[in-house]
Every structure is written in structure tokens, then in C-alpha cells.
Amino acid sequence: MAKKLLIAANWKMNLSPHQASVLTSRLAQKIVASRDVEIVLCPPTVDLYAVNRELDTKKFKLGSQDISEFEEGPHTGDNAASMLKGWVDYSIIGHSERRRDEAETDEVIAKKMAMAIRNGITPILCVGDTLLDREMGHAVRVVNDQLSVCLSLLTAEELGQIVITYEPVWAISSGDGKGNYAKPAEVAPMVTAMRNSIEELFGEGVGTSTLILYGGSVNPDNAKSYFEMPGIDGALVGGASLNYAQFCDIVASAVTVATS
């Protein structure tokens, strides 16, 4: 079942420029490039310069954790797509932590998606349900509503240039060994519903060809089960991507699945 996989490392608000460059060079020493597995490192913006200096571009691509919805101007603390372009190939957009901390709405996220694409940056859109959504039986509707607004400024053709991550909010950062990650049996129906919804919004064939990752407490023990899932094209990895050994193990699982 050979398939191409994408693994994005979301370092969140961790690591100084020096620490980030050390991790980058250690990863480069250990990880063997595979044409079937694309690895994207998404450090904090302040670390991009240092990581880029150490980046083995045969093995890694660079991503940011956000971009501004504006082109330029008086937006203190933000980074425009036009400034990040040339540095990054990818950008995480609409992460639930930004929705929570910065009150980012689906409408703002839609603008960021368009801004990324039109500057040649591949957006990694994050969507996901909360525990309450799930308990109320609304999870699928909530995720589909997010998709329909967040993708509303894109054309069917542009859907070929994006990545979507199904990242249930209740499954993020539960690397506490309690197993609060979404089990493949819970992820599968959601991903099918997402693909159907994309198909309805953009037309036949678009839903099946869109890249969809899983994110939420991916670790060396569970990674393979996601990579093996039909309809899952990789993972967005948070906590475990900061741990050199764990991230190398996750990449090794991806290579095994991709080449088997």
C-alpha cells in the first residue's frame, strides 16, 4: 500500500533560535531523505532564520505557524505572506490555539488561506471539533461548517494546492499517556465526511484528491495507525516533534508505510 505522506512538525511557541537550529541539524543527521515522505518543520517565526541556515533542503521544507490576512501595513506583530514567501513553502493556518488565543474566526482564516495560496505558500488548514461538539453529536456539522467558510475564497483548482488537517481540539496535547488521541476508528468517519463535504462544495474528484492529515497527540506508538489509514495523507505533530528521538521514530514509521 505505497502512498506519499506528509509530516508537519508544529514546534508551537517553543525553542530559542539556537535550540531550534541545534534540533534542525540533529534531525538532518538522523533522518534519511525519502521521496515518499515530505517533512515540514514549522518553527516560531523568530527561529526561521536560524533553522533555514541549518536546513538540509533535500530532507526538509520550512513552514510558518501563521500568516497575516493583510498584505502589509499597520498590523503590529504580524507577518505578511509576501514577507514569508521565499522563506517558507508551507504555513499552518487556523490552528485551534490561534482560534482560542487570538479569537481567529473562520472568516479571517479564509482570508489567510487565500493570502497564502496567492503568494505561493501551501496552507495547512486546521479544522476540528471540541469535546462539547462531539458530546452533543455536532462534530461533523461543526467541522463541515469550518470547511465551508475557511475554503470559501478558494477555487476548485486552488484546492489542489492546500493541505487540511483534521485536528480534534480534545485530542491536542494529551501526550500524557492517557491515550486521549482520536482513535483511527473515530478519525475515519470524520475524514470521509470532510471529503464528501469538499466534493459538494467544489465538485467531483476534488474531495478525494485533497490532502488530509490527522493531528492531535501523534506519537511514536500511534503514528503508524494513522499513516496506514485510507484517506489519511500524513500527520501534524506537535509535542512529539520537539523530541528528537520521538520525531525520528514517527518519520521512520511514515517511511515504512510509504514504501511498503
Nearer Cβ to ligand PGA, position 164 or 240? 240
Nearer Cβ to ligand PGA, position 202 or 211? 211
Instruction: Quote the least distance from Cβ 182 to ligand PGA, whole Å.
Output: 10
Nearer Cβ to ligand PGA, position 10 or 24? 10
- Set of cell numbers at residue 191: 475524514
Q: Applying CB under 6 A, what is the total number of residues that bind ligand PGA? A: 14
Site membership for ligand PGA, residue 225 (CB under 6 A):
no
Which one of residues 23, 236, 252, 254 is an interface residue with ligand PGA (CB under 6 A)? 236
Nearer Cβ to ligand PGA, position 234 or 238? 238
List the one residue out of 197, 160, 166 whose CA is nearest residue 181. Answer: 166
Catalytic residue numbers, as ranges: 95, 167
The residue with cell 523568530 is 46
- β-pairing, 90-93 with 37-42? unpaired
Which one of residues 175, 184, 220, 231 is an interface residue with ligand PGA (CB under 6 A)? 175
Q: Which amino acid is at 159?
A: L
Site membership for ligand PGA, residue 218 (CB under 6 A):
yes
Nearer Cβ to ligand PGA, position 94 or 207? 94
Which one of residues 114, 127, 212, 237 is an interface residue with ligand PGA (CB under 6 A)? 237
Which one of residues 16, 105, 173, 209 is an interface residue with ligand PGA (CB under 6 A)? 173
Site membership for ligand PGA, residue 216 (CB under 6 A):
yes
Which one of residues 239, 247, 257, 258 is an interface residue with ligand PGA (CB under 6 A)? 239
- The sign of the CA dihedral 126, 171, 78, 144 is positive
Contact code string over 130-169 relative to ligand PGA, x by CB under 6 A: -------------------------------------x--
Site membership for ligand PGA, residue 51 (CB under 6 A):
no
Instruction: Quote the least distance from Cβ 216 to ligand PGA, whole Å.
Output: 5
Task: Please state the length of the chain.
Answer: 260
Sole window of 115-123, 140-148, 209-217, 250-258 interacting with ligand PGA (rule: CB under 6 A): 209-217
Give the footprint of ligand PGA on this chain (CB under 6 A): 10, 167, 172-173, 175, 215-218, 236-240
